[in-house]
Amino acid sequence: MTDTKMIDNGVWKADMRSAVEAVDGVLSHAALLGASDVHIDPRIGSTAVRMRMDGQLEHVGSLPKKIHDELISRLKILSGARTDVHAVPQDGRFRVNLAGASYNVRISFMPTYHGENAVLRLLPSASAAKDSFASLGFTPEHVARIGKALEANNGLILVTGPTGSGKTTTLRVCLSLKASQPLSVMTLEDPVEYEVPGVRHVHIRHAYGVTFASALRSALRQDPDVIMVGEIRDNETAATAISTALTGHLVLSTLHTTSAVDTLVRLADMGVAGYLTAATIRLVISQRLVRMTCRVCDGTGDECQTCRGSGFLGRSVIAEVLPIDDRLREMIARGDATQSIREHILSQGFQPMAYDADEKVDWGVTTRAETISAMSS
């Protein structure tokens, strides 16, 4: 998969005489490798280029230090950042066509001791992104439960997990399904990642005093049917999201918790009364991402060009999906103990994430070490 014409002994060849050639070459190489992130790291005598493939950050080459400042300026021009500002962090974004596909590139600039560091997130456009729950790795049982919850015209659906667990990607599929219907769909995000046709995306701007909670209150005047809140971070946002879900809107959001049941506890910790959670919440999805075994070398990796010898290619979700039934609503409203809730949902056929992980190992989708590492995060 590596383009040997581009790299010689780990160093980009000298025919990259300008920053324009360097940026084009690095981005093209990232698309070729299927990288999700590109790190441009200034060091003492060179600029290191690292790329994240299937969740793993790898060094792929170096660029001459003499073109570093020009390269950063080129990236700032493309992304709309200020070229005359070097001492404070900046963010930007731009679109680019790579390897026959369209990408939205989100970029962050950070001043470091040896120069400005840049990290680029490559987000495939709607036409190139995975467009179904099955393609993300959800099982047929999961897909059925998620689909049923999405049929509702009000209530709260939460996707939970640590940073980098694919929550936003899962929500993008939810939004695509709702936007295909005659509905008004909005998102409130910081920052906007995936653009979905038919959806109005709103970028939260904290520098101007716009928070998730204040933007959500304003969004209600836009006559939405479905609202995605990028993340519930605090008590105010939680209360506003719950209130919105109670007034005839379907609200989708994310929360940083380790399991579906822990989500109920987290909402209580954020000051949401049990009866309000019980009245609004419809579904909780808790997920992680694991690397998938390479289908060409079957995970051996020996001199495999497809997976670059890693034994892995692509990533899959491992998940647990918890629908909220009437009995569970009563337990949440009463504030029953977490252990009692776990016993009830298991008696109703709930399958914890470990069950999904075991199945994917048995099917050869991934390895035991991958699932253990993912679930420990």
pLDDT single digits (tens) 283-326 = 999 999 999 999 999 999 888 989 989 999 999 999 999 999 99
> For residues 266, 272, 273 and 278, what is the CA-based torsion angle, rounded to 10 degrees?
-70
Which pLDDT value is given to residue 210?
84
Which pLDDT value is given to residue 128?
53
Fold of 7-124: Beta-Lactamase (3.30.450)
Fold of 133-375: Rossmann fold (3.40.50)
Which pLDDT value is given to residue 208?
77
DSSP 8-state assignment for residue 209 = T
Which pLDDT value is given to residue 6?
54
Compute CA 279 distance to the chain's CA centroid, rounded to the nearest angstrom. Answer: 28
What mean pLDDT is predicted for residues 80-98?
93
Nearest to 297 by CA among 287, 307, 289, 288: 307
Which pLDDT value is given to residue 4?
40
3-state DSSP call for residue 307?
coil
Q: Provide the residue ranges of all domains of the chain, joining segments of one domain with +.
A: 7-124, 133-375
C-alpha–C-alpha distance, residues 5 and 286, integer Å: 43
pLDDT single digits (tens) 133-172 = 999 999 999 999 999 999 999 999 999 999 999 999 999 9
> Parallel, antiparallel, or unpaired: how do β-strands 250-255 and 226-229 relate?
parallel
Most confident of 55-69, 182-196, 361-375: 361-375
Q: Which two tokens stand for residue 258?
A: 């380790």
Predicted TM-score (pTM) of the model is: 0.87
Which pLDDT value is given to residue 2?
41
Asked whether the predicted pLDDT for residue 176 surpasses 60, the reply is: yes
Q: Which two tokens stand for residue 130?
A: 């995975």
Q: Is 7-124's fold the same as 133-375's?
A: no
What mean pLDDT is predicted for residues 32-61?
93
Residues 126 and 195 sit within 8 Å (Cβ to Cβ): yes
Residues 111 and 88 sit within 8 Å (Cβ to Cβ): yes
C-alpha–C-alpha distance, residues 308 and 51, integer Å: 13
Asked whether the predicted pLDDT for residue 3 surpasses 50, the reply is: no
Residues 123 and 192 sit within 8 Å (Cβ to Cβ): no
Average predicted confidence (pLDDT) for the chain: 91
